[in-house]
């Protein structure tokens, strides 16, 4: 998005001509102010993904993890916590105290004494944190702290929690009960054997 904006500003301001730096910067500032005002008038809507697999994985994640999701009791920041899959692999049936300890450790922003960075990353990624995003157009959605969400602005965790809290409705074609339903339909493509001698 930023690259596209930079390209459009450069094309509009220079009109494919060489300009002195002062003239270019003056025009670029005017264009940026104009685009900023336009974005305030027409805010981007929070779009829910149309990827069938993410919808399916979100429903299955919710089915398996719903009993472990905890809501924060803090008055100033309302958020939800859910254990990550790596945490559940090590603790198949965690107690409430185990979840509280993992949440507390996840909230500690600094390295402990003698802690290595890899251990810090592992400790802070034991629990996913969700916060409600409220857009100006009235659509609500949850953000997640997993790496997939930061890359694609959606993930199975945020979608699953949004389904549970009735912020989004699952489209009827995307309703899933088991992992087998997520397999692609039809015959798999033939793989050409490039190593075959003629």
With vertex at residue 147, the alpha carbon angle to CA 93 and CA 72, rounded to the nearest 5 degrees, is: 55
| Predicted local confidence at residue 197, as pLDDT | 47
Are 124 and 97 part of one and the same domain?
A: yes
In a domain, 189, yes or no: no
Structural domain range at position 170: 52-178
Are 105 and 61 part of one and the same domain?
A: yes
Are 144 and 59 part of one and the same domain?
A: yes
- The model's pLDDT over 50-107, given as tens digits with 9 standing for 90+, comes to 788 888 888 999 988 888 888 887 766 678 999 988 888 888 788 888 888 888 888 8
How many whole angstroms separate alpha carbon 11 and alpha carbon 101? 54
With vertex at residue 146, the alpha carbon angle to CA 131 and CA 6, rounded to the nearest 5 degrees, is: 85
Residues 6+ apart with CB under 8 A from 32: 9
How many whole angstroms separate alpha carbon 192 and alpha carbon 196? 9
Are 65 and 25 part of one and the same domain?
A: no
- If one compares 3 and 141, the residue with the highest pLDDT of the two is 141
How many whole angstroms separate alpha carbon 131 and alpha carbon 143? 5
Do you know the residue count of the chain? 198
Contact by Cβ (8 Å): 130, 142: yes
In a domain, 68, yes or no: yes
3-state helix, strand, coil in the chain (%, to 5): 50, 10, 40
| Predicted local confidence at residue 1, as pLDDT | 47
What token pair was written down for 156?
Answer: 């199975």
User: What is the sign, positive or negative, of the torsion defined by CA atoms of 137, 142, 143, 149?
Assistant: negative
Are 23 and 100 part of one and the same domain?
A: no
Which residues, in sequence order, are bridge partners of residue 131?
79, 143
How many whole angstroms separate alpha carbon 145 and alpha carbon 135? 19
pLDDT band at residue 35 using 50, 70 and 90 as cut-offs: confident
Are 126 and 154 part of one and the same domain?
A: yes
């Amino acid at each position: 998005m930023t690259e596209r904006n930079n390209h459009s500003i450069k094309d509009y301001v220079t009109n494919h001509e060489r300009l002195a730096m002062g003239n270019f910067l003056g025009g670029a500032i005017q264009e940026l102010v104009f685009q900023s005002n336009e974005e305030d008038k027409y805010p981007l809507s929070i779009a829910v993904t149309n990827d069938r697999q993410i919808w399916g994985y979100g429903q299955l994640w919710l089915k398996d993890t719903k009993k472990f999701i905890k809501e924060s009791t803090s008055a100033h920041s309302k958020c939800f916590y859910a254990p990550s899959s790596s945490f559940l692999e090590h603790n198949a049936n965690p107690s409430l105290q185990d979840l509280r300890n993992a949440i507390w450790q996840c909230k500690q922003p600094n390295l402990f004494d003698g802690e290595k960075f890899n251990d810090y990353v592992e400790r802070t990624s034991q629990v996913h944190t969700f916060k409600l995003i409220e857009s100006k157009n009235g659509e609500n959605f949850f953000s997640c702290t997993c790496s997939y969400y930061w890359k694609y602005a959606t993930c199975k965790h945020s979608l699953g929690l949004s389904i549970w809290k009735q912020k989004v409705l699952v489209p009827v074609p995307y309703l899933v009960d088991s992992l087998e339903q997520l397999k692609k339909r039809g015959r798999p493509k033939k793989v050409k054997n490039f190593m075959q001698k003629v």
